[in-house]
Structures are given as C-alpha cells and as structure tokens.
Amino acid sequence: MSAYVRRGEVLVFGLATFLSAFLLFQVQPLLAKCILPWFGGTPAVWTTCMLVFQVLLFAGYAYAHLLSSRLTPGWQLAVHLGLLVAALSLLPILPGDDWKPTGDGNPVSQIVLLLLASVGLPYFLLSATGPLLQSWFRGATGGAAPYRLYAVSNCGSLLALVSYPFVVEPNWSVGRQAIVWSAGFVGFAILCAVSGWLGRRMVNLPVQEVASEEAVIPPSTNTILLWFGLAAVPSLFLLAVTNQVCLDVAVIPFLWIVPLTLYLITFILCFDGEHWYRRRSFVLATAVTLACVCVMMMQGAGGSMIAQAIVYFSGLFFAGMVCHGELVGLKPHPRYLTLFYLTISAGGAAGGLFAGLAAPALFHGYFELHVGILACGLLCLGLFLREDGAVWDRLPRWLPGTAGCVILLGAIFGLSRIGGTTESMLTVTRNFYGVLRVEDQAADGQLPARRALLHGRIIHGVQLTGDNSQTPTAYYGENSGIGRILRALEKSGPRKIGMVGLGIGTLATYGQPGDDFTFYEINPDVIRLANDHFTFLKDSAARVATVEGDARLVLERESPRDFDVLVLDAFSGDAIPVHLLTVEAMDVYRKHLAEDGILAIHISNLHFDLHPVLAGLAEAAGWELRTIVSPGDPRLATQTCFWGILGPNGAALDELLGDARRLPTPERQIRWTDDFSNLFEVLR
C-alpha cells in the first residue's frame, strides 16, 4: 500500500474519532441545559445527566468489546451500520414538551428516561466509536498501535467542552444547537461507515502478527481490578467537585464544563506519552491540593468564588493525573485494548453511580467529596509504598488493597451515620434538590433568638422566637419592596397573592381575613419543614394553599388565577432558575395576574446582577419597572434586599411604594427566552 493511501486512511480514522468525541461531549451540556429548567435548576440535574452518560459510555465500550471479539469484520460493520441507520431516524435530539415533569414523579428516573429516549442510541454509538475504530484501525494498518487515536479522541472531547460556553452557548439558541449537532452526527455516520470498510482488511493481517499476539500474556485479574479502581476514583472526584462548586458558586454550564475539561486534559496528557507523568511529583502535588480542599471545605462557602474554583479544580486535576498516569503505565498489549477501555468505562460508571445514586441514599449531607478525598489519599499512600519496593515486597499481596477497601468502607459507613440532630440543629434532610437543615440560633449581639431554614449557606427563611414570631423577617420586612406593596394593598379589600418559592412561608404573615395566599414550591422537603418547624403558614389569617411542583410548569397548566400580586423569590441562591425569567415566562405570569396586577421579583444575589433582565422583561411586556432597595435591621432579622416591582401602570406603582429608595432603571436590557439565555451576561 502506498504511503499516500496509508496517510489517507489514517486521516479518515482520525477524523471519525475526533468528530465522534466532539459530538459526544457537545451533546452533554446541550441536553443538560435544555432540561435544567424543568427540574428546578438544581446541581443534581447535571449530576444525574453525567451518571446517565457514564453508564451509556460503559454500555458502548461493552458493545465495542463484544463486537470486535466475537464477530468477523464484515459482520461488525453490518451490525454497526444497522444501528447507525436506526439512530439517524431519531434525529433531531431535543425532547418534546410531553417529557416535562408534572410534579408527581421521581426526578432522577424522569431524567434517565428522558435522556435514553431522546439521545440514548446516538450517544451509545458515539461511545462505542473510540475503541471500535481503534480495533478497525489495527486491521487497516496491519496491526499498528492505535493508542494515539485515544489522544485524538480526547482532543475532540476537549474542544467540544471548551467551545460550548464560549462559542456555542452565547451565539446559538438551543434549537439551532440541536440541528447543527444532528447534522454533525450524519457526517460522523458516513465517516464511520468508511472506516469500517477500511477496517475489513484485518482478516488479512500478516501471519507473524497473529502469531505474536497468541504469545501475549493476558492481563491478570489484579491488573484489571487496578484499572477499575484507578478509573473509578477520578470519576467520583469529578462529580463530587462539580456538585460542590455548583452548590457554592453557581449552576451554569461553564462550571459543569471546567471540571470535565480538566478531567479530559489529564487523559490527553497521560495517553499522549509517559513523559508527562512523574509519580512522585504528582502524588505530592495531589496531597497538597487535597489538603487545601479540606481547608476550603472547613471554611465553608463564603469565600472568594475564584479561590474556591482554583482550589477545587486543582485537586481534581492532580488527582486525575495520578490515576490516569498510573493507568497508562498499566495499559496492555493492543490485543486487549477493548477490554482495557471497557474496564476503564466500568470504573467511571461505578464512580458516577456512587456520586449520583448511592451518596444521596447513604448520606444526609454532601459527603461524596469527603469519600473522594479519602480514596485519593489511600491511593497516593499505596503508590508511594509501591514505588518503594523494599516496603511493598514485604507486604502480603492481599494486604494493601484489602486494608484500603476496609478503611474506605468504614469511612462511608461513618459518614452515613453523620447528619443526625443536635441541640441547635433540629433536623437535616437531603433529596434531589439539595440538603436542608433547620437550626435554632441563639441571640447574638443585636440579632434576636431565631429559627432558620438553611440550604448550604443560603437562608431560606428565619422566624423569631417568642412574642415576635409573626414579624416578617429576612427579605420580607415592612420596608422591603414586597412589604410596602402588600401593606399598601391591605385597604383595597381581600387579595389574591401568588408566591413562587415557599421558603418557610414568611409572606403569609401579611395575610388578612378573606385573603387567598397560594405558594408554589418544587421541593417537597421545604413544604414539610415549613409546616413542621415553623408557624407562619398555620398562624396566617389568610387562606393558605401550597402547590408542589415547578411553578412555571404548574402555572402553564392552570386556568387564570387573577392574582393581585405574583411574587417570585427563587433567585437569591446560586442555582438560578433561568426559565422563570424569560419572555415566555412573562407571558405566563401576565395570564395569571389581574388587569392591574403586580409582579414582584426578589433579585438579591451574591454573584448575579439580574436588574438588566428585569428591565428586559418589563420592556418586552410594555410594563414599568421600579427597583427597590431596603437596608437590613438585625433587631428584626431582616436583610438588605433588592426587589423589582413590575406593573402596567407606573403611577400606581409609585403611589404604592411611597418614599421607598429606588435604583435607576439600567441602561442595558437583557431579554432571555426559553431558547436562549446566558448567565455570563449577568455575572457581577
């Protein structure tokens, strides 16, 4: 075969591998962003998506292993082409509105079924492409080592991840992204078919190649288990770090992609060549960075966003380098490459299953990062002992692995017991939407004794104890924007008030006889805790109703409610539910407001300035916007807060708000739609 033809064949395999990896990692943030609003914008949406993708990756690798080891090249190509044709029939990939949750199902199972139905088969085939094409490549090139194609694959994955938050998301709507991705999948199918046709040459491998492979010793069980463990630990650490950062900083595609990008970079560097990884240096760096992670976790989430990101991401990078560097040192003869990749994907899926399913069931708090740190620490210790042969050789072969497993399982059992109540912490609960805790807080300086509902560092509500228990607190004080509106409307007779975000029901303190207050809350644990540990709801003079489910989806299904005021308070945390601030959402709110109804939106936030978004909503609806800022009062447990008040009549708003301090309307207006939004636009 001429050198020109050989280079052409290598190019075909390289392009097919690169494109498959690119599409594989572009579709992850695309679909996650698409369904994030449907499930409350919680970090668990991305974690669940990652879990599904990792399991599909394992399934694809298992399929590639069985296909290449059990079928002849001709049958391999026939089976794969048949599945590719079936996958093409499922395009485009966006899920329809009938997949939107109704509020009465398990979010995890709903996300799993949604992803399997919309992109399951295409993703499965893309996952199988890497090892399958490498197997075909060996046949087309007469047995050449294919590991460089793995580096090409990781480069495609890296480019996909880096380009998404900086190029794709800011410039293309979700619908357009899906169309372009689907077109790319068609191109991939063509390249894959050509690669399979070229790979049929493996039936004619030279006799000496076949004979040499028969002499290759297969990997031992211990080696396979080591492959598994070295893949599982960084996978667990990846999801744990992503979850931690999203909880403490923000739930945005950029912060999903950065840790996954670093994870892939470690693959690229390690599989590119052994010169990138030096065991002693990287093990020491891992130990130092994980110690910094521990310090950051003990300090809590109030520190600098940049400092948190640097520390957590550094720990992930060095841990990934150690694990993947050791994997490269243990890679087998190319004959066993599909088994090698199958084991790696199984380890990755196991790490994902632990972070996505086992940890929420076992732990009351977010302890999966603790488990990941401990596993990395044990791994570093084992590697140091392994490097020192004098010590390692004196140990029984079963002792290091067994001891490590016992320590890790003991830690998991211990962490699963943590989270019970204390004298000040009344209860802790964890579900798909996060960890909630109820605390009694003693008087401190000007702050009176109080009971609080907390989600991480975010305060969902505060109730004073004693005679002042019905005083509106937190962001709902008498001088806040919403406080002024509700007090001013008392003289107008019975009111109908809607509230998106229950908290502890503080707004119910403004209820008067004859009033109707309806609270919409997506998290069932919030509803239970608000009723069991706080008295705002039960002591209100108004008729109070609580509706479980995502407010936007529930309101879309309900008949017009004619609310006098509709209150949105879902943006003080870092998990911004963007779908509640789109032009389409505004249309839903207007449907449920009375003719002169008012929309009040709480926009106090540490990391995001939502003022321009409210200006965009007001402009799109032809309404007026008044933004009110009120100082906090420690004696009343109120906090400085910002409220955007929107209505069709500016003069009426001015009369209701009186002498409240107002911010000027921002010159910049941002219009978000269901199809296009970008949180980078509003970062402080």
Indicate if the pLDDT at residue 297 is higher than 80.
no
Indicate if the pLDDT at residue 8 is higher than 90.
no
Q: What pLDDT, in 10s, does the model give residues 536-555?
A: 999 999 999 999 988 888 89
Helices (H), 89-220: 107-140, 147-163, 169-171, 174-199, 207-214
Helix (H, G, I), strand (E, B) or coil at 642: strand
Indicate if the pLDDT at residue 216 is higher than 60.
yes
Same domain? 368 vs 246: yes
In this prediction, residues 263-276 reach a mean pLDDT of: 79
Question: Domain span at residue 97?
Answer: 3-204+216-417
Same domain? 142 vs 221: yes
Split into its structural domains, the chain has a count of 2
Q: Which of 398, 417, 436 is the last residue of a domain?
A: 417
Does the residue 197 lie in any domain? yes
Indicate if the pLDDT at residue 623 is higher than 90.
yes
Indicate if the pLDDT at residue 231 is higher than 50.
yes
Does the residue 120 lie in any domain? yes
Q: What pLDDT, in 10s, does the model give residues 130-157?
A: 777 777 776 555 555 555 666 677 788 8
Of 217-231, 383-397, 463-477, which gets the smallest average pLDDT? 383-397
Q: Which of 417, 432, 463 is the last residue of a domain?
A: 417
**Confidence tier at 587 by pLDDT (50, 70, 90):** very high
Specify the CATH number for the domain of residue 539: 3.40.50.150
| Rounded Cα–Cα distance for residues 612 and 132 (Å) | 50
Indicate if the pLDDT at residue 282 is higher than 80.
yes
Same domain? 33 vs 105: yes
The residue among 122, 154, 183 whose CA lies nearest residue 17 is 154
Same domain? 398 vs 533: no
Does the residue 428 lie in any domain? no
Does the residue 87 lie in any domain? yes
- The three state secondary structure string of 647-676 is ECCHHHHHHHHCCCCEECCCCCCCCCECCE
Same domain? 253 vs 324: yes
What is residue 302's predicted lDDT score, i.e. its pLDDT? 52
What is residue 575's predicted lDDT score, i.e. its pLDDT? 63
> Where are the strands (E) in 482-622, listed by range?
496-500, 516-521, 543-548, 563-568, 593-602
Specify the CATH number for the domain of residue 143: 1.20.1250.20
Indicate if the pLDDT at residue 201 is higher than 70.
no
Same domain? 563 vs 495: yes
**Confidence tier at 533 by pLDDT (50, 70, 90):** very high
Indicate if the pLDDT at residue 276 is higher than 50.
yes
What is residue 629's predicted lDDT score, i.e. its pLDDT? 93
DSSP H or E run through 542: none
**Confidence tier at 419 by pLDDT (50, 70, 90):** low
Residue 443, sorted as left (phi over 0), alpha (psi -120 to 50) or beta, turns out to be beta
In this prediction, residues 59-80 reach a mean pLDDT of: 81
Same domain? 482 vs 403: no
Alpha carbon distances (Å) from 375 to 58, 107, 356, 371, 431: 22, 29, 17, 6, 24
Indicate if the pLDDT at residue 455 is higher than 70.
yes
Residue 202, sorted as left (phi over 0), alpha (psi -120 to 50) or beta, turns out to be alpha
What is residue 644's predicted lDDT score, i.e. its pLDDT? 93
| Beta pairing, strands 516-521 & 496-500 | parallel
Query: Which residues lie below 8 Å from residue 338, measured CB to CB, with a gap of 6+?
Result: 61, 64, 65, 68, 69, 131, 132, 135
Judge contact between 609 and 539, C-beta under 8 A. Answer: no
What is residue 206's predicted lDDT score, i.e. its pLDDT? 40
What is residue 395's predicted lDDT score, i.e. its pLDDT? 59
**Confidence tier at 481 by pLDDT (50, 70, 90):** very high
The amino acid at 5: V
Indicate if the pLDDT at residue 209 is higher than 50.
no
What is residue 666's predicted lDDT score, i.e. its pLDDT? 86
What is residue 77's predicted lDDT score, i.e. its pLDDT? 79
Does the residue 446 lie in any domain? no
What is residue 504's predicted lDDT score, i.e. its pLDDT? 93
**Confidence tier at 39 by pLDDT (50, 70, 90):** confident
What is residue 1's predicted lDDT score, i.e. its pLDDT? 41
The DSSP annotation for 126-157 comes to HHHHHHHHHHHHHHHTTS---HHHHHHHHHHH
In this prediction, residues 430-439 reach a mean pLDDT of: 83
Among all chains, which residue has been given the structure tokens 């498959």?
Answer: 20
What is residue 210's predicted lDDT score, i.e. its pLDDT? 42
Same domain? 481 vs 389: no
Indicate if the pLDDT at residue 385 is higher than 70.
no
Q: What pLDDT, in 10s, does the model give residues 171-199?
A: 888 888 889 999 999 998 888 888 777 76
What is residue 392's predicted lDDT score, i.e. its pLDDT? 52
What is the chain's mean pLDDT, rounded? 81
Same domain? 351 vs 254: yes
| Rounded Cα–Cα distance for residues 252 and 578 (Å) | 10
Same domain? 498 vs 407: no
Judge contact between 588 and 555, C-beta under 8 A. Answer: yes
In this prediction, residues 208-237 reach a mean pLDDT of: 73
In this prediction, residues 465-493 reach a mean pLDDT of: 89
Q: What pLDDT, in 10s, does the model give residues 305-357?
A: 677 778 888 888 998 898 888 888 888 876 777 788 788 888 888 888 888 78
Does the residue 454 lie in any domain? no
What is residue 2's predicted lDDT score, i.e. its pLDDT? 41
Same domain? 404 vs 479: no
Same domain? 66 vs 138: yes
**Confidence tier at 4 by pLDDT (50, 70, 90):** very low
Query: Which residues lie below 8 Å from residue 557, measured CB to CB, with a gap of 6+?
Result: none
| Rounded Cα–Cα distance for residues 381 and 404 (Å) | 10
Q: Which residue has the higher pLDDT, 383 or 78?
A: 78
Binning the chain into helix, strand and coil, the percentages to the nearest 5 are 65, 10, 25
Question: Beta partners for 429?
Answer: 436
What is residue 305's predicted lDDT score, i.e. its pLDDT? 65
What is residue 496's predicted lDDT score, i.e. its pLDDT? 95
Does the residue 364 lie in any domain? yes
What is residue 310's predicted lDDT score, i.e. its pLDDT? 84
Indicate if the pLDDT at residue 205 is higher than 60.
no
Does the residue 462 lie in any domain? no
| Rounded Cα–Cα distance for residues 301 and 306 (Å) | 12
| Rounded Cα–Cα distance for residues 334 and 521 (Å) | 54
